[in-house]
Amino acid sequence: MNQHEARLRSEELRSKLNYHNRLYYVLDAPEISDADYDDMMNELRAIEAEFPELITPDSPTQKTGAEPLSTFEVVDHPRPLLSLGNCFSREDLENWYRRLADRMDGDTIRLVSEPKIDGLAMALIYEQGRFVQGATRGDGLHGENVTANLRTIPVIPKTLKGSDLPDRFEVRGEVYMTRSGFEQMNAAIGEANIEREKAGRKPVALYANPRNAAAGSVRQKDPSITAARPLAMYVYQLGWIEGGKRPGSHHEVMQWLGDMGLPVNPEIRIHETLEEAYGRITWWGGQRERLDYDIDGTVLKLDDADAWDRLGAVGREPRWATAYKFPPQQRTTKLRKIEVNVGRTGVLTPFAVLEPVFVGGATVSLATLHNEGDLKRKDIRIGDTVIVQRAGEVIPQVVAPVVSLRDGSEQEFEMPAVCPSCGVPVVRDPAEAATYCPNTSCPAQIMRLLEHFAGRGSMDIEGLGEKMALLLYRSGLARNVADIYDLTPERLAGVPEFTVKGGRLSKVAENLLAGIEKSKSRPLANVLFALGIRHVGFETARLLAERLTNLTALMAADAAALQQVAGIGPVVAQSIATWSARPENQAVAARLMAAGVNPVQVGRIAESDLLAGLTLVVTGSLAAMSRNEAEDRIRELGGKVGSGITKSTSALVAGEGGGTKLAKAEKLGVRTIDEATFLRLLAEGKAALQAAPADV
């Protein structure tokens, strides 16, 4: 790039970044993801590093945020609120550390790490221990006075504890919204949108993420609205102090602030080496999902706070701190079209076809839209620019449209009138707000059912997945689940895909037959679940199996009899009765039994095998149940309870005040989970842990 090109490109980037700064900081209505913003900022920084003469004082690299709106009183920040430089790799981090070490002239470098909370920066002023002012960062020099709103946030103390308090000081921190609170709030907005649509009113835009929701909540004109929002705060820095002395190191300052009653993050750690700090950074990469607030990286700070002023800043970034950013979990992209999937019960679910985008560590071109209702609630249209999210191991999803980028060409989605798989006219079920294909011989439904039947927790037939289901269906070998048990070496040999040279049966075919044979001994609950009856999940299947004890009894039970089973309600009972009354289903059941799939359930079943294979240790006290209850639940769900931490402990469940076990777990690299994750684990099983893999 020559100087001329650099000038043009940097002007373009500056103007774009200033535009997005205003949307993000002032209007709380960003049009691009943080990651796209960071990309532009990094490009501008690289150009300015090569051509320093192009740096202008108003470059976004030289200032923070954007000038505040006039709705609130503007207040000055006597000491500007800075931002943080970013690192995206170990190499970036080492470079930052080397530059720091050079300036520290051989002094010991002790680091402190903290989660980088994805909220909004706030400066609180306390006078004689009383909270007198709270302001947003604004452009770093001037912020908005939002004191009345901050007073409604429960964790922000109105008065401080202790006797030896400074006359006046300013403390900085991040206001955020909890993730659980955010989900609830967005769900409520979505529900209200359906009503608004019915009334012919325009839908209210959803918040893209907890950060935007927090920003919108703090900047409400009416504090009672803020009060109803699930906001919280952690403080992370002492801004300035008058009439008092602060401790010399950052970790002591934090301790001191905590002693006064200010909310200090318990996840703060001290590290003697960069290596150790890096260990914590990678650990956070795997743990972030367990927190009930969003973090977008880890902040490292020099613990020696006395050296901070001397070290100073480059532009708006202090030399004594940096942020190691996680790969982005949200990006914006175009929604090209919406297609429809047919599930095993015939329900049609829309999914998004996207312009491919790299997010959450993978290139995403398809994303779930959950269901028709969700599409309506979020007001997603074909052609929209949308926010796509991929967090942990979770399936990518379309979070919300960027309404401000619409040009009028976007189109609302209509469910097809006929099934995309079999062409039979679809049926709408107003009670469930679902559209489904009523054709029980619909190829898509059959293939999905074959897959479900052979899946985990069902008949668990190894080798029978999506591809095999397609092959069995296409070749005509399986058109219902009972056909699976009619497969023989001879019949498979008739299909080229199942043979090798010389017409012999392939290994794949042999394994399939062995898997099918093995599946005949699955317990009754698995069989009932495998049949794929609408509304019969594994738990319902377990209840049915205990009471009815065999398949013949299930087929004979009418809705009234089924409702006698504890835990089975009228809708489920009706669904099962309708299923068993169909002649084709009776034929399937009879053929399964004739093939040897005819288990008898004797006595109670362990509630489930949700936690099978896991050994958990519980420490500290939990809010939702006693430790004994927690341990009983683990056993009921098929898990083991350990008394001490060993290498084979799957996870340590840490309640309030857990002691030495925490340290032991950290030492042995055993994952620690909090109560919220534990409750998810009880509800969802191992998947709750996979969503947040441990890196240690």
Reply yes or no on whether 198 is catalytic. Answer: no
Residues 231-270 that bind ligand IVH (CB under 6 A): 236-237
Q: Please work out the total of residues on this chain that contact ligand IVH, with binding judged by CB under 6 A.
A: 14
C-beta closer to ligand IVH: residue 27 or 577:
27
Q: Which two tokens stand for residue 447?
A: 């293939």
Tell the smallest beta-carbon distance from residue 114 to ligand IVH (Å): 4
The piece of 95-103, 274-282, 316-324, 594-602 that touches ligand IVH (CB under 6 A) is 316-324
Contact predicate 332/31, CB 8 Å: yes
* Dist CA 197 CA 378 (whole Å): 11
Q: Which of 35, 47, 109, 121 binds ligand IVH (CB under 6 A)?
A: 121
Tell the smallest beta-carbon distance from residue 438 to ligand IVH (Å): 53
Cα→Cα distances 283→276, 594, 692, 693, Å? 11, 53, 11, 10
C-beta closer to ligand IVH: residue 125 or 299:
299
Tell the smallest beta-carbon distance from residue 218 to ligand IVH (Å): 13
Contact predicate 290/674, CB 8 Å: yes
Site pattern 45..74 for ligand IVH (x: CB under 6 A) = ------------------------------
333, β-bridge pairs? 386
Residue whose pair of structure tokens reads 């189109």 in the numeric block: 411
C-beta closer to ligand IVH: residue 322 or 333:
322
Cα→Cα distances 150→115, 212, 215, 225, Å? 22, 16, 12, 11
* Dist CA 74 CA 144 (whole Å): 5
Tell the smallest beta-carbon distance from residue 299 to ligand IVH (Å): 4
Tell the smallest beta-carbon distance from residue 295 to ligand IVH (Å): 8
546 binds ligand IVH (CB under 6 A): no
What is the DSSP secondary-structure string of 517-533? Answer: HHHTT--HHHHHHHTT-
Q: Which two tokens stand for residue 233?
A: 């705060």
C-beta closer to ligand IVH: residue 85 or 457:
85
* Dist CA 417 CA 644 (whole Å): 59
Contact predicate 135/145, CB 8 Å: yes
Residues 173-192 that bind ligand IVH (CB under 6 A): 174
C-beta closer to ligand IVH: residue 136 or 439:
136
Tell the smallest beta-carbon distance from residue 316 to ligand IVH (Å): 9
Tell the smallest beta-carbon distance from residue 253 to ligand IVH (Å): 12
* Dist CA 48 CA 158 (whole Å): 44
Q: Which of 114, 294, 483, 674 binds ligand IVH (CB under 6 A)?
A: 114
Q: Which two tokens stand for residue 313?
A: 């800043």
C-beta closer to ligand IVH: residue 134 or 346:
134
Q: Which two tokens stand for residue 175?
A: 């206001």
Of these residues, 16, 63, 116, 664, which one is catalytic? Answer: 116
C-beta closer to ligand IVH: residue 323 or 472:
323
At residue 293, the 3 state secondary structure works out as coil
Cα→Cα distances 457→37, 555, 612, Å? 44, 21, 12
Q: Which two tokens stand for residue 138?
A: 């604004």
C-beta closer to ligand IVH: residue 24 or 413:
24
Tell the smallest beta-carbon distance from residue 203 to ligand IVH (Å): 31
Site pattern 265..304 for ligand IVH (x: CB under 6 A) = ----------------------------------x-----
The piece of 154-162, 318-326, 330-338, 582-590 that touches ligand IVH (CB under 6 A) is 318-326
Tell the smallest beta-carbon distance from residue 149 to ligand IVH (Å): 17
Tell the smallest beta-carbon distance from residue 283 to ligand IVH (Å): 16
What is the DSSP secondary-structure string of 130-141? Answer: EEEEEEE-TTSS
C-beta closer to ligand IVH: residue 252 or 486:
252
Q: Residue 244 phi/psi, 5° resolution?
A: 175, 165
The piece of 78-86, 352-360, 605-613, 631-639 that touches ligand IVH (CB under 6 A) is 78-86
Q: Which of 17, 26, 47, 82 binds ligand IVH (CB under 6 A)?
A: 82
The piece of 111-119, 369-377, 380-388, 401-409 that touches ligand IVH (CB under 6 A) is 111-119
Q: Which of 143, 190, 203, 318 binds ligand IVH (CB under 6 A)?
A: 318
Of the candidates 87, 133, 152, 136, the one whose C-alpha atom is nearest the C-alpha of residue 113 is 87
The three-state (H, E, C) secondary structure of 273-286, written as one string: CHHHHHHHHHHHHH
84 binds ligand IVH (CB under 6 A): yes
Q: Which of 63, 116, 344, 542 binds ligand IVH (CB under 6 A)?
A: 116
C-beta closer to ligand IVH: residue 86 or 585:
86
Of the candidates 288, 185, 268, the one whose C-alpha atom is nearest the C-alpha of residue 674 is 288
At residue 336, the 3 state secondary structure works out as strand
At residue 362, the 3 state secondary structure works out as strand
Contact predicate 404/31, CB 8 Å: yes
Residue nearest to ligand IVH (CB): 121
21 binds ligand IVH (CB under 6 A): no
323 binds ligand IVH (CB under 6 A): yes
Q: Which of 87, 231, 302, 321 binds ligand IVH (CB under 6 A)?
A: 321
Amino acid at 363: T
* Dist CA 239 CA 172 (whole Å): 6
- Beginning with the edge strand found earlier in the chain, give each strand of the sheet holding 640-641 in spatial order: 640-641, 615-619, 651-654, 671-673
C-beta closer to ligand IVH: residue 31 or 294:
294
The piece of 112-120, 184-192, 340-348, 399-407 that touches ligand IVH (CB under 6 A) is 112-120
- The DSSP letter of residue 684 is H
Residues 324-383 that bind ligand IVH (CB under 6 A): none
What is the DSSP secondary-structure string of 265-333? Answer: -TT-EEESSHHHHHHHHHHHHHHGGGSSS-EEEEEEEESBGGGHHHH-EETTEETTEEEEEPPPSEEEE
Task: Please state whether beta strands 640-641 and 615-619 pair in parallel, antiparallel, or not at all (unpaired).
Answer: parallel
Tell the smallest beta-carbon distance from residue 538 to ligand IVH (Å): 41
Which residues, including other chains, have CB under 8 Å from residue 688's CB and lie 6 or more apart?
677, 680, 681
Chain positions contacting ligand IVH, by CB under 6 A: 82-84, 114, 116-117, 121, 174, 236-237, 299, 318, 321, 323
Residues labelled catalytic: 116
